[in-house]
Amino acid sequence: MKLTIGCLYPDLFNLYGDRGNVQCLKKRLQWRGIEAEVVSFLAGDRVDFGKLDILAWGGGSDRGQALSLGHLGKVRQDFRGYVEDGGVVLAVCAAYQLLGRYYRAEGKMLKGLGILDIHTEWAPGRLVGNIVLESPFFRTPVVGFENHAGRTCIGSHTPLGKVLFGKGNTGNGDYEGVVYRNVIATYLHGPLLPKNPEVCDWLLERALKRKYGVDVALAALPDTQEIQANRNIVERYTSQDSEGILKTGQESGHSGRDK
């Protein structure tokens, strides 16, 4: 078995080491004896979505987003077709915003791909800090780091998770991210996947099932260090009672602000 992982415009979207997500996808395939090929598409390159199993697209500045618009216009149709066909995508921060209808930043309207029925508005005061989510898609809380000025309204889309600590989509500490078909769109940098191996395996499993059929299952990996690191973050930013039941920042009385 083999998966091809695309990395979209790393020359324009390269904040916070999001490329680490690509390395994590690759490594967790290789550890299971599955071949992985990584293909980077620089701005202006032709993207053949038909050859892709997973597309990773990282965070970037408002400037990088503006510079990408012409290129995105050319891949709009194929990108949408890939997503609707069950293509796997991880879109972080600036990429999350551009999957939506628009990102309006200080008077400038950046038209997105419109694959997600969401929109983002810039507002003063960046939403920066560690963030912890409880997600119905994962047993383990999802941890990461957010840094965005955009506030994203996700309408009727399904969020990735509920914010236990941090700011999230709109800054009110309510919900974070979107899961749509085989797309995870989120504000969580980290890079996200090394900090949350379960999220990585969700993407890999979806891609393998799409390519090779429904009965493909990933072998378990020990993940001792990864789970310990994740747990440390969760314990630092949330509180757990003696039964290990998670209490949210909100429930335990603090405002969800970084400690």
Span from 27-35, 111-119, 146-154, 204-212 in contact with ligand GLN (CB under 6 A):
146-154
Taking the complex as a whole, how short is the minimal distance between the CB of residue 145 and ligand GLN, in angstroms? 10
Taking the complex as a whole, how short is the minimal distance between the CB of residue 149 and ligand GLN, in angstroms? 4
Closer to ligand GLN by Cβ: residue 30 or 61: 61
Considering only 26, 28, 148, 157, the residue that binds ligand GLN (CB under 6 A) is 148
Say if residues 94 and 64 touch (Cβ distance below 8 Å): yes
For residue 41, give the amino acid letter.
F
177 interacts with ligand GLN by CB under 6 A = no
159 interacts with ligand GLN by CB under 6 A = no
Closer to ligand GLN by Cβ: residue 82 or 145: 145
The site for ligand GLN, by CB under 6 A, has a size of 12
150 interacts with ligand GLN by CB under 6 A = yes
66 interacts with ligand GLN by CB under 6 A = no
Q: Taking the CB of residue 109, how many other CB atoms lie within 10 A of it?
A: 9
Half-sphere exposure of 2 (CA within 13 A, CB side): 7
User: By CB under 6 A, what part of segment 1-30 binds ligand GLN?
Assistant: 15
Closer to ligand GLN by Cβ: residue 149 or 154: 149
Closest CA to 7 of 101, 90, 112: 90
Strands 175-176 and 102-105: unpaired
Let me know if 178 is exposed, middle or buried by CB neighbors in 10 A (0-12, 13-18, 19+).
Answer: buried
Give the x-and-dash track for 76-115 against ligand GLN (CB under 6 A). -----------------xx---------------------
Say if residues 168 and 131 touch (Cβ distance below 8 Å): yes
Token look-up 């799409």 returns 210
Q: Taking the CB of residue 125, how many other CB atoms lie within 10 A of it?
A: 9
Which are the catalytic amino acids?
Answer: 93, 189
Phi, psi (rounded to 5 degrees) for 130: -70, 150
Closer to ligand GLN by Cβ: residue 6 or 60: 60
123 interacts with ligand GLN by CB under 6 A = no
Taking the complex as a whole, how short is the minimal distance between the CB of residue 18 and ligand GLN, in angstroms? 8
Closest CA to 193 of 242, 127, 159, 144: 144
Q: How far is CA 151 from CA 99, 128, 178, 229, 251, in A?
A: 14, 12, 13, 29, 23
Interacting residues with ligand GLN (CB under 6 A):
15, 59-62, 65, 93-94, 147-150
